[in-house]
Amino acid sequence: MIIVLRPGATKEQLEHIIRKMESLGLKTLVSRGVERTIIGVIGEEDVLRVQPLEVYPGVEKVMPVLAPYKLVSREFKPEDTVIDIKGVKIGANKLVVMAGPCSIEKYDLLLETAKKVKSAGATILRGGAFKPRTSPYSFQGLGEEGLKYLRDVADKVGMLTITELMDSRELVLVERYTDIIQIGARNMQNFNLLKEVGLSQKPVLLKRGMMSTVKELLMSAEYILSNGNFNVILCERGIRTFEDSTRFTLDVSAVPVIKQLSHLPVIVDPSHAAGKWGLVPALSLAAVAAGCDGLIVEVHPRPEEAFSDGAQSLLPEKFSEMMENIRKVAKAVGRDL
């Protein structure tokens, strides 16, 4: 932690800060420049983080030196985390593709979709039973019935499942039916929910909030790891910007940035980022080229009839075609599909 004093800071103010630091068991190192005095504080930075140093008299600004997350960091664990779920490995050389409809609607439709995405190379079936909808008047999901469909279809077809958890009270229910628990973008800072899934045995896919920095995403993952669950998959799904030709702006740089900072696997959701199916293939290829560990894609055989997000869902044929191209790009960057 570096503390920069204001130009006119007094000797008393300086000493007040130094005494405070020492009372916390920290060492200080003062360097007096021509224009400013700077205090370097050495020791456990965590002790300092809870101190409102900015309000000490004479302080101009405080600059933390270390990242505030630990367990998710590459420094804590230099090698990549690989999550093995019944043989499907997430974070390994082979890319993992999760595909399916936005919401679970009808059993037969889900089965038809599952068969098609499976044969194109997807290994995990996605589908929402509890839907976070901006409007209270929109379709809110089938609930437990949907979860049953998802489990049953996935077992029939031979896939794993992923579905969103929106409420701690539904954790036991969701755990019963799914292989991976998804925490949606709007809940990335629902800290109680993070703690709950931190206590779960199931792997968690944590989506980045649409207005959250990469650092905040890592802090939210830290909530899960620090409660005991190390099987966390991070997901970039587009951030909110001023650009309006896409629904969100896919932050493809987040992939290499997270890979540098953390050992956790990173996947990309091109469907929610784009909001338009026509852009999904290009974004998927870009994400794979940038080094992600997998994709989560919305596929619907009859988007006209989808209860939600039809505009961003790929037809199964388009999905198959895209998977062919992903295979080629994956190979070009030394990965498999």
Site for a copy of itself, residues 72 to 91, rule: CB under 8 A: 75
What are the C-alpha distances in Å from 111 to residues 50, 115, 140, 151, 311? Answer: 51, 6, 21, 11, 21
Strand order in the sheet with 2-5: 27-32, 37-42, 2-5, 59-63
Amino acid making up residue 34: V
CA distance 258 to 68: 15
CA distance 104 to 112: 12
Q: Which stretch binds a copy of itself (CB under 8 A): 81-89, 107-115, 156-164, 300-308?
A: 300-308
Please state the closest distance from residue 99 (CB atom) to a copy of itself, in A.
Answer: 17
What number of CA atoms fall less than 13 Å from residue 299's CA on the CB side? 33
Query: Using the rule CB under 8 A, which residue among 23, 172, 201, 245 binds a copy of itself?
Result: 245
CA distance 141 to 103: 7
Residue closer to a copy of itself by CB (options 67, 88) is 67
Contact call for residue 311 and a copy of itself (CB under 8 A): yes
Query: Using the rule CB under 8 A, which residue among 68, 80, 115, 321 binds a copy of itself?
Result: 68
Contact call for residue 228 and a copy of itself (CB under 8 A): no
Q: Which stretch binds a copy of itself (CB under 8 A): 107-115, 117-125, 142-150, 233-241?
A: 233-241
Residue closer to a copy of itself by CB (options 89, 249) is 249
Residue closer to a copy of itself by CB (options 80, 167) is 167
Contact call for residue 7 and a copy of itself (CB under 8 A): yes
Tell me, by CB under 8 A, how many residues bind a copy of itself: 111
Within 152-211, the residues that bind a copy of itself by CB under 8 A are: 166-169, 186-187, 189-192, 195, 209-211
Phi-psi region of 33 (alpha: psi -120 to 50; beta: other; left: phi over 0): beta
Query: Using the rule CB under 8 A, which residue among 283, 297, 335, 336 binds a copy of itself?
Result: 283
What number of CA atoms fall less than 13 Å from residue 68's CA on the CB side? 16
